[in-house]
Structure 1
Amino acid sequence: MATALITHAECLEHVTPNGHPERVARLEHVLHALQDLDLMRETAPLVDPAHLAYVHPQSHIDAITAAEPTEGFNQLDGDTWMSPGSVNAAFRAAGAVVRAVDLVLDEEVGNAFGAIRPPGHHAETATPMGFCLFGNAAIGAKHALEAHGLSRVAVVDFDVHHGNGTQDLLWNEARALTITSQQMPLWPGTGDPSERGAHDNVLNVPLPPRSGGTEMRAAYEAQVFPRLRDFKPELIIISAGFDAHQDDPLAELQWSTEDFRWLTRQLCGLAAELCEGRVVSTLEGGYDLTALAQSARAHVEELMEAAS
């Protein structure tokens, strides 16, 4: 089966001020890195507002829509900005993940990657933050549960920053297991192992600054993979942030491109073992453009290998 690449040009219309790390060039570099791969290319739809409502109250959806400026920028917090075009970009980003879930669960493709922005894993129930407006991965998980009737979905987030938004959005969802590895200490300051979810459905795996692939692989083998096997998900959603790379300017983990390749291969192998290979991946962080492009390509190449 094929691997789907789901994206939309409107994700490039979400513009941030000069010098902001979450910039248009991120997605441009990812798409350029993937342009020669034999992928099933899909256009991301605008998300149905009912799908946003899986995890966000209408007041949050309305506030984000109203916050889009007609010109210039609107700063929502110290890190999060909107420009003309940001709402449609965010709707396309969430729509890409929903579409990916549909394609994978309807067996039209083996797995899928959403090349989107803005990212989503820091957006909490009613709070945009950390460059994120809506919780893309959590929306995808809830869509799999509610629209497709799955009983168990796992979200694995390997972004260097803790996925506080996904944790918040799925905290009370017993059918969803949220697993995140992150540098600690680091913004946003959440992600302690004591944070376990309302139904023991959260696993946080802090990694110390300056640690590299050896430490990451040991942590995943000791904690993450056994927990996934115990949970037996019917779908694995990956929040694929590539800012744990040793060249990334926003953090201090020392992963290599090959570490992302290894981790993707392992997760796809577990998906083959547990849930017929069903994997949906969505782009989160990664701020060194070269490292981001190389790591995203390695990630997608492993998805393609697993789907073949």
Structure 2
Amino acid sequence: MATALLTHADCLTHETPPGHPEQVARLEHVLHALARLDLVRVTAPLAAEDDILRAHPATYLADLRRALPTEGRRALDADTWMSAGSLDAAFRAVGAAVRAVDMVLAGDVKNAFCATRPPGHHAETDTPMGFCLFGTAALAAKHALDHHGLKRVAVVDFDVHHGNGTQDLLWDERRALVISSHQMPLWPGSGNSDDDGAYDNVMNLPLRPETGGDEMRQIYQTQAFARLRAFKPELIILSAGFDAHREDPLAQLNWKTDDFRWLTGELCLIAQELCQGRIVSTLEGGYDLNALADAAKAHVEELIKAAT
């Protein structure tokens, strides 16, 4: 078995203003870091419109299409921008995640990493925000549930910011478990530990500023992993943000690259125990370019290790 890498050049055409942290160079650095790894390299397809409409309403998609500039850039809010290539990039991000689910569930590969942008876990049902347009991880989960007929899918989000969009899109989905660890207080200000979903299907793990890897490992071992085992997912989807790294400029957690390596390895072991090792990971945040590249490489190396 092998690990798939899904990406597309369209994801480099989503342009933000100079100095914006969610920049084209993020994906360039990640792809450069992964260039020599032994991966099944797959060109990400465009998502079908139906893939988007599994969780977002048609009115929302129409609003984004109307907002798409033909040239230059347009602000959707203070942080979230669109350029002429943004919708194609976002459709590729969802397409990558959907195709990765198809490949993993078919047994074509053991696991997969989607190196795409814009990120997705802040996009709510009808609101773009936090650099995100579509809820990529949530849409991948819905595809696995609705198209493939899985009974239980878990989403684990270790981005430093709370995955408010994923929580919103899957709040009423009893077949999905959403686990999010994130710094608190920090934007977007959501993710309290008592936000537990319509069916007790959300687990938020707020972390204090300056939390390091040792405390993170303890919290995952004593809380998140036990919840995963109790849920018994048939597929695990990872919102792989690397902005909890100590070098990241947008937050104040103190994880090191080896902490991301450890967490990925442990999640792979749990996936092997519960669901034949089936993991689909999609890139979220990470804004120090070198730290992002190093941590993403460590993450994918653990996926490769688990697949062999």
Same fold (TM over 0.5): yes
The offset of 1:66, in angstroms, is 1.6
Matches within 5 A, 1:259-274: 259-274=259-274
Structure-2 separation of matches of 1:88 and 1:63 = 15
Matches within 5 A, 1:284-295: 284-295=284-295
Matches within 5 A, 1:1-308: 1-308=1-308
Structure-2 separation of matches of 1:271 and 1:210 = 29
Which residue type is aligned with residue 253 of structure 1?
Answer: L
Structure-1 separation of matches of 2:78 and 2:293 = 26
Name the SS of the counterpart of 1:267 in structure 2.
helix
The offset of 1:153, in angstroms, is 0.1
Which residue type is aligned with residue 97 of structure 2?
Answer: V
Name the SS of the counterpart of 2:186 in structure 1.
coil
- Give the length in aligned residue pairs: 308
Which residue type is aligned with residue 118 of structure 1?
Answer: P
Structure-1 separation of matches of 2:190 and 2:139 = 21
Structure-1 separation of matches of 2:298 and 2:121 = 21
227-236 or 57-66: bigger deviation: 57-66
Structure-1 separation of matches of 2:156 and 2:172 = 17
Q: How far does the alpha carbon of each residue in 1:69-101 deviate from its partner, in whole angstroms, 9 at most, with x for none?
A: 011111000100000100100000010000000
Which residue type is aligned with residue 54 of structure 2?
Answer: Y
Structure-2 separation of matches of 1:40 and 1:194 = 40
Structure-1 separation of matches of 2:290 and 2:65 = 33
The offset of 1:62, in angstroms, is 1.0
Q: How far does the alpha carbon of each residue in 1:147-170 deviate from its partner, in whole angstroms, 9 at most, with x for none?
A: 111000000000000000000000
Structure-2 separation of matches of 1:218 and 1:134 = 32
Structure-2 separation of matches of 1:122 and 1:286 = 14
Structure-2 separation of matches of 1:26 and 1:181 = 22
**Aligned-pair identity (%):** 68
Structure-2 separation of matches of 1:281 and 1:13 = 22
Structure-2 separation of matches of 1:84 and 1:222 = 46
Structure-1 separation of matches of 2:243 and 2:274 = 28
Structure-1 separation of matches of 2:85 and 2:35 = 24
Which residue type is aligned with residue 31 of structure 2?
Answer: L
Name the SS of the counterpart of 2:108 in structure 1.
coil
Structure-2 separation of matches of 1:75 and 1:66 = 13
TM-score by length of 1: 1.00
Name the SS of the counterpart of 1:294 in structure 2.
helix
**Structure 2 stretches lacking a partner, 5+ long:** none
Name the SS of the counterpart of 2:305 in structure 1.
helix
TM-score by length of 2: 1.00
Name the SS of the counterpart of 1:226 in structure 2.
helix
Q: How far does the alpha carbon of each residue in 1:105-164 deviate from its partner, in whole angstroms, 9 at most, with x for none?
A: 010000000000000000000000000000000000000001111000000000000000
**Runs of 4+ in structure 1 over 6 Å off:** none
Structure-2 separation of matches of 1:244 and 1:284 = 11
Name the SS of the counterpart of 1:249 in structure 2.
coil
Structure-1 separation of matches of 2:49 and 2:34 = 30
RMSD: 0.4
The offset of 1:229, in angstroms, is 0.3
The offset of 1:299, in angstroms, is 0.1
Name the SS of the counterpart of 1:281 in structure 2.
strand
Structure-1 separation of matches of 2:157 and 2:128 = 18
Which residue type is aligned with residue 161 of structure 1?
Answer: H
Q: How far does the alpha carbon of each residue in 1:197-243 deviate from its partner, in whole angstroms, 9 at most, with x for none?
A: 00000000000001100110011011100000000000000000000
Structure-2 separation of matches of 1:161 and 1:119 = 12
